[in-house]
Amino acid sequence: EYEKTIFDELDLVREAANASQLRHNFKDSPILYVPEVFWPETRRNVLVMERIHGIPVGNIAELRRRGVDMKKLSERGVVVFFTQVFRDSFFHADMHPGNIFV
End-to-end CA distance of the chain: 38
* E strand residue ranges, 35-97: none
> Could you tell me the pTM of the whole model?
0.84
Tell how far CA 33 is from the center of its chain: 9
pLDDT digits 0-9 by tens, 72-100: 999 999 999 999 999 999 987 777 888 89
Number of domains composing the chain: 1
Known catalytic membership, residue 8: no
CA distance 69 to 66: 9
What does the alpha-carbon distance between residue 16 and residue 46 come to, in Å, rounded to a whole number? 10
The span from the CA of 12 to the CA of 38, in Å, is 12
Structural domain for 17, as ranges:
2-99
Active-site residue (options: 11, 28, 88, 94): 94
pLDDT number for residue 7 = 66
